[in-house]
Amino acid sequence: MMLLKGVALSVVMFLSVSTFAQEQMAFSSELNKIRYQSLVEELRCPKCQNQSLADSNSGIAVDLRELVHQLIEQGKTDQEVVDYMVARYGTFVLYRPQHSSATFLLWYGPFILLGLGILAFVCVIMANRKRRGRAL
C-alpha cells in the first residue's frame, strides 16, 4: 500500500512539473498564435544541433520563444521577426537559408554535382563504344 501511495505521489508530481514547464502564452488573436507556431518551427535554436525553437528546451530557446511572442504581439511582421533573429544570431537560425551568392553552392551544388556525374558517365560510355568499334 505504501508503494502504491509513493507511485501515485510521483505521478502527480511529474504531471504538475510537466504542466508547469509548458509555456502558457496569451495571444491577442488566433492569427498571432498561428504565426507564432509557424515562426518557432521555422527558426533554429542557436545552441542546439538541428532543433527548432519549438523543439528545443534549452534556456536560450525558451527566451527566444518569449521574444518571438513579444515581437508578434508588438505588431511586427513575420519577416521583421526573422530579420531581427538573423541580425542577432546570423543565418544559422534559418532552416531555409536565403538565396544569395554566399549560399549558391548550398542550394545548387548537389544539382551541379549530379549533372557533372551524368556528364562523366555519358563520356565514359561514349569512349567505351568508340574503343569497342575500333577493336572489332
Q: How many Cβ atoms from other residues are within 10 Å of residue 78's Cβ?
A: 15
Q: Which fold has domain 30-98?
A: Helicase, Ruva Protein; domain 3 (1.10.8)
| pLDDT for residue 49 | 75
| pLDDT for residue 10 | 60
Q: For 76-133, write each residue's pLDDT tens digit.
A: 999 999 999 999 988 888 877 777 777 788 778 899 999 999 999 999 999 998 888 7
Query: In this predicted model, which residue has the larger pLDDT, 103 or 74?
Result: 74
Are 76 and 87 a contacting pair, CB within 8 Å? no
Q: How many Cβ atoms from other residues are within 10 Å of residue 28's Cβ?
A: 10
Q: For 17-66, write each residue's pLDDT tens digit.
A: 433 344 578 888 899 999 999 999 999 988 887 888 999 888 999 999 99
Query: In this predicted model, which residue has the larger pLDDT, 60 or 7?
Result: 60
- List the Cα angle 91/95/96 in 5-degree steps: 85
| pLDDT for residue 123 | 95
pTM score: 0.59
Q: In whole angstroms, what is the distance from residue 72 CA to residue 82 CA?
A: 11
